[in-house]
Structure 1
Amino acid sequence: MEHSRHAGWLELFFDLVFVALAGQLAHSLHGDPGPADFAVFLALYLPPWWAWINLTVAANLFEDDTARRRLLMLTAMLSLAVMTVAVTEATGERSTAYALGYAGSRIVLLGLWWPSTTRPIHPGDALVPRWRPLVYCLVPAVGWAASVLVPAPWRFVIWGVLLAAEVGVLFVERSAGLPRRLHVGHLVERVGLFVIIVFGESVVGLIGSLDTEWTAAGGWVALVGFVMLAALWWSYFDFGSAAAETVLRAAAGDRAVPLARDVTAFLHFFVTAGVVAMAGGLATAVEEAGQGHGHLARGAVVALAGGLALYHTAHACIALRFGRRPLLVATWAVPGVGVPLLVIGVAGHLAPWQVVAVLTAEVVAHLLYARWVTTRRLRTRTA
C-alpha cells in the first residue's frame, strides 16, 4: 500500500521560481496581444513547464534528502530562474540565456536519474537502461546548448524538434527499469500547488491593476474577477483534483503511469496555460474599466475568454481520458467552451465589466452544476 507523502520544503522553495515565471508570462499578454503573442506565449511556456513536471516526477520517485539531491535541485532552480528572466525576450536578445537555462535543467535531470542505472528505483525493480537518461536528458541538453550557435529562426526550430523528441521517448515501448508506480497523492498535490501558483498570479494581477486604476469601475471588475477565480479554485480542488487522485489511485498495472503522464504532464499544461492567459486578460479588464473604456481590447478578451475556454477544454479531455462518458462530459464542457467563445464574438458590444460578469456567471454555474451532480450521486449511493 502506498505510504502518504507530501511536498517537501525543498520542492516548495523550488516552486518560487515559477511564481515569477507566471508573472512574466501573464505580463506578456497584458494589453492587446495579437495571434503572434499568443503563439509565442504557448511556445515559451512549454519548456519551463516540461522541466518542472520532469523534475517533479524525479522528486516523486527518488525520495532521498541527501546534500547531493538538494544541490541538484537548487541548480535546477537557478537554471529555471535564468529562463524566467529571459522568457519575455526569448525570441530576441535573451534567447541564448533561455536555451542555456533549459540545457542546465536537463543536466540536473540527468544527475537525478543516473543513480537508477546502478540501483533499482524500488526494491525488486530492474535497473533503468543507461541509454534512457542519456537520450532523454543529455542529448537534449547538448542540443539546446549548441542551438545558441545557430541563428534565428532555425534556433527555434531546433528547440521544437528537441522537445518533440523528448516527448517521443516517453511513448517508446517500455523498457525494464522504468517506473510502474508513482506516489499518486504526492503527484496530485504537486500539480495542485502549481495550479495555485497560476491562480495566485491572477489575484496579484487584479490587485496590481486596481492599485494602478483606483476607481469604483475598476474595483467592481476586480471584485467580479475575484469571484470568478474563487469559483474556479473551488471547482478545481473539490472536483477536478479530487477526481484525479481517485482515478489514478484506482488505476492498476501498466495503465497507471501512462494515465498519470497524460493527465499531469500533457493536459495540465493547457489547464495552467489557460489560467495564466486569464491573468493577463483580467488585469487589462480592471485597468480599462478604471479608465472608462467602452469595451475591452480584443486581445484582452481573447486572453481572458480564450483562456477560460482552453481551461474547460483541457478538463474535458482529462475527463474523457479518465473514461467518463462523452455525453456527460458534454453537458458541462459545451457551455464551458461555448460561452467564452460567444463572448469573444460579441465583445465589441460589451463593456469590460460585462465581459468579466458573463464569464464569471458561467464559472459559478459550472461550480453549482458540479456540486449538484456530486450531491445527487451521494444520495443515490446511500438510498
Structure 2
Amino acid sequence: MSTDQVTVGTRRLAPGAPGAKVTRLELFYDLVFVFAFINVTNASAKTLGQGGLLGSLLVLALLWTAWTSFATLGNVVRADRGIMPLFGFAAMAVIFVASVSLPEAFTDKPSGLPGGLVFAGCYLVVRNLQLLALWYAIRDDPRLRPRWHRIAVPPFIIAALLLLAALTPQRLFAGDAQTAAQVGLWVLAIAVAFGMSQWNRFEGLTVVSAGHWAERHAQIVLIALGESIISLGVGPGLEAGLPLTWPIIGAAALGIAVIAALWWIYFDSRAIAGERALHRVHGPARIALARDAYTYLHLPMIAGTILFALGLKRILADIGDPTGAGLHERVGGLDAAVLYGGVALYFLAVLGFQLRTLHRVSRLQVFSLVVLVALIPVGAVLPPFGALTLLVVVIVLVATMDTVRYRHHRQFLRQEKFDEERALEAGETEWRRRYLEQQHKSRPDHPPEVAYTP
C-alpha cells in the first residue's frame, strides 16, 4: 500500500511510508513478548514429560498471531503518532496478563482463576484492540472500510474455540480424552488463524514498507535469541548463591557459541537477501512473500529457538548439580530431542525462508539439516557436557561451511547493505544540517543545537 492508498482518519495519524523503519515504541511493545517467551520456556520445563511442551507451542502460535497483528498495524500507520500509542499500551497490559496465565492455559490451579478462560479473554481483548486501531486508521477510506469486516471475523471465531476448550471438555470428558479435546480445539483455533490469513491475502492491505516488515521480524528473532541467553544466564550455577565451577563456565561458553551460530546463520546474509527480495516485488506478490517468508516461516524460527533454550535450561540443571552426579548421567531422549531438535527446527525454517525468498537451497544445506536430526539419538546417550559440545561442533561447522561456500554472494550482499546504510546516514546528516541552518536563521538568538526542536 503506497502512502496515497490510505485515507488517514485524522491528521494526528501518519500513514506508513515505503521507507519507514521500526519505531522505538514498537520495540517497547516487544518487551512484553520477552516475558511471554520466558514463560513459555519455564512452563515447558516444568511439564515437559507430561505434554506441557505441546501446550506451550500451541500458546506460542496464538501469541504469534497477536504479534503479527502489531507488525501489520505498524506497517499501515505509524505506531507512535496520534492515538495509536494508547492502543499499544492497552494491548501490552492484556498480553502481559495472557503471558502470566500461560502455565494454567490447559491445567487450572485450584486456588486461582481458570487459566484457559483468562487466556481466551485476553486474546479476544487484544485482538479487538488491534482491530479497533486498524478501523480508526482506515475508517475514512471507502475502499478498505468495507473489507475491514472480513479481517474482524477470525478473532471472534478463535476466541470462541478457546472458550469452548476452557469450558466444554471438562464437562464431557475425563482424563486423556479431556486433554485431547482441549488440544483439538486449540489446534482448530490455530488453523482458523493461519487459514484466514491465507483467505484474506487480497483484502486490500499490503506491505507498505518492505524494510519495516523485514526489520520487525528480524528483531523478534533477536528477542527469541535473547531469551536463550536469559535461560543460560539464570541457569543453575549462574544464579547468586551457587558456587561457580569450571563445568558451568564451559557450558556457558558452549551455549553462547550455539546462540552466536544461530544468529550468524540467519542475520549474516539471509536476512539481508530476504529484505532485498521483498523490495523487488509489489502488490499481491509482495503480500504472498511477506506472509510466507515472514509470518509463516519466522514462527518455527521462534519455536526452534525456544526449544533450544528449553533444552539448554534442562542440561544446565544437570551440569549445575551441586553433587556432580548430573555431569555423568545420560542426557536422555527427550532432552536431546528438545536441544538438537530446536536447532534443527530453526535451521529448517531458515532454509525454508531462503527457498521462498531466493528460490534455491543447496544439497549441502539439506545434508547439514539431516545430520542435525540424525545426531539426536547420539546426543541422548552422551553426558550433558558432551551433548552440548557435539552440538556446538556441528552447528559451528554448518555455519562455517555455509559461509565459505557462498562467500562471494555474501560479500556482495554485505557490501551492498553497507553502502546503503552509509548513503542513508549521509542523507540524514545532510537533512539535519539544512534543518538546523533554517532553524537558526529563523531564530538567530539561539544556537543551532537549541533551535533544533523536532
Q: Which whole-Å CA distance do the structure 2 matches of 1:142 and 1:73 have between them?
A: 24
State the 1:31 CA deviation. 7.0
Residue type matched to 2:312 in 1? L
1:183 aligns with 2:209: yes
Where do residues 115-194 of structure 1 align in structure 2 (5 Å cutoff)? 115=136, 118-120=139-141, 127-141=145-159, 144=162, 148-152=166-170, 153=178, 154=181, 156-172=183-199, 175=202, 178-194=204-220
Cα deviation digits, residues 170-194 of structure 1 (max 9, x gap): 222655x612333111111111111
1:246 aligns with 2:312: no
Q: Which whole-Å CA distance do the structure 2 matches of 1:137 and 1:59 have between them?
A: 19
Change (3 A) 1:141 1:115: farther
1:56 aligns with 2:77: no
Q: Unmatched 5+ residue regions in structure 1? A: none
State the 1:64 CA deviation. 5.6
Match of 2:122 among 88, 93, 101: 101
1:349 aligns with 2:375: no
Aligned-partner SS, 1:6 = coil
Residues 66, 127 of structure 2: 8 Å contact kept: yes
Q: Which whole-Å CA distance do the structure 1 matches of 2:151 and 2:289 have between them?
A: 21
Where do residues 210-249 of structure 1 align in structure 2 (5 Å cutoff)? 210-212=237-239, 214-249=244-279
Residues 128, 178 of structure 1: 8 Å contact kept: no
Q: Which whole-Å CA distance do the structure 2 matches of 1:67 and 1:88 have between them?
A: 36
Match of 1:333 among 366, 374, 380: 366
Aligned-partner SS, 2:406 = helix
Instruction: Give the aligned partner of residue 407 of structure 2.
Output: 375
Q: Which whole-Å CA distance do the structure 2 matches of 1:289 and 1:250 have between them?
A: 49
The TM-score, its normalising length taken from structure 1, stands at 0.88
Residue type matched to 1:107 in 2? N
Instruction: Give the aligned partner of residue 39 of structure 1.
Output: 54
State the 1:140 CA deviation. 3.8
Question: Identity of paired residues, percent?
Answer: 25
Change (3 A) 1:351 1:143: closer
Q: Unmatched 5+ residue regions in structure 2? A: 3-16, 109-114, 171-177, 416-454
Q: Which whole-Å CA distance do the structure 1 matches of 2:33 and 2:334 have between them?
A: 24
Q: Which whole-Å CA distance do the structure 1 matches of 2:68 and 2:359 have between them?
A: 25
Match of 1:198 among 194, 219, 224: 224
Instruction: Give the aligned partner of residue 293 of structure 2.
Output: 263
Change (3 A) 1:258 1:148: same
Residues 41, 306 of structure 2: 8 Å contact kept: yes
Q: Which whole-Å CA distance do the structure 2 matches of 1:351 and 1:234 have between them?
A: 27
State the 1:23 CA deviation. 1.0
Change (3 A) 1:272 1:215: same
State the 1:3 CA deviation. 4.1
Q: Which whole-Å CA distance do the structure 2 matches of 1:6 and 1:207 have between them?
A: 31
Query: What's the C-alpha RMSD, in Å, of the aligned pairs?
Result: 2.7
1:309 aligns with 2:344: yes
Moved more, 105-114 or 343-352: 343-352
Residues 293, 353 of structure 2: 8 Å contact kept: yes
Q: Which whole-Å CA distance do the structure 1 matches of 2:348 and 2:341 have between them?
A: 10
State the 1:288 CA deviation. 1.1
Match of 1:319 among 354, 366, 375: 354
Aligned-partner SS, 1:30 = helix
Change (3 A) 1:58 1:201: same
Cα deviation digits, residues 226-264 of structure 1 (max 9, x gap): 111112112321122112111111123321111111111
Change (3 A) 1:141 1:43: closer
State which structure, 1 or 2, has the greater radius of gyration over its C-alpha atoms: 2
Q: Which whole-Å CA distance do the structure 1 matches of 2:156 and 2:359 have between them?
A: 39
Instruction: Give the aligned partner of residue 90 of structure 1.
Output: 105
Residues 264, 399 of structure 2: 8 Å contact kept: yes
Aligned residue pairs total 375
Change (3 A) 1:351 1:55: same
Change (3 A) 1:338 1:104: same
Residue type matched to 1:333 in 2? V
Change (3 A) 1:355 1:199: same
Residues 218, 287 of structure 1: 8 Å contact kept: no
Instruction: Give the aligned partner of residue 96 of structure 2.
Output: 81
Q: Which whole-Å CA distance do the structure 1 matches of 2:43 and 2:182 have between them?
A: 21
Cα deviation digits, residues 323-348 of structure 1 (max 9, x gap): 4334x1x311321x223323321234
Between 1 and 2, higher relative CO (CA 8 Å, sep ≥ 6) is seen in 1
Aligned-partner SS, 1:5 = coil
